[in-house]
Amino acid sequence: MKQKFGVRIMPREVILDTQGRAVEQTLRLEGYPPIGVRVGKYVELELEGPPDEARSTAEKIAQTLLHNPLIETFILETKE
């Protein structure tokens, strides 16, 4: 059975998000009111196997390969 997962990777709150700041500045220049912006990454994984095993594998991939734990956090979401 195929299982799909989404991995949302964001910079930690204490890390300066230079991409987010650049978007904020552009929005202000375009006349928008001050808006907080943080820029991250989104990765979709499609795995075969039982749901629990697939989720465990997806979490291991996210923890070890997709994010840098020193500067990023991740959230694993099950897709339908």
Helix (H) or strand (E) holding 43: strand 41-48
Residue extents of the structural domains in the chain:
2-79
Q: Which CATH class is domain 2-79?
A: alpha beta
CA distance 62 to 73: 10
pTM to 2 decimals? 0.87
At 80 the pLDDT is: 77
pLDDT bracket for residue 5 (50, 70, 90): very high
Query: What are the tens digits of pLDDT across the range 20-69?
Result: 999 999 999 999 999 999 999 999 999 999 999 999 999 999 999 999 99
Q: Which of 46, 25, 45 is nearest to 36 (CA)?
A: 25
Local structure of residue 69 (DSSP, 8 states): T
Coil, strand, or helix at residue 4? strand
C-alpha dihedral over 45, 46, 52, 55, to 10 degrees?
A: 0
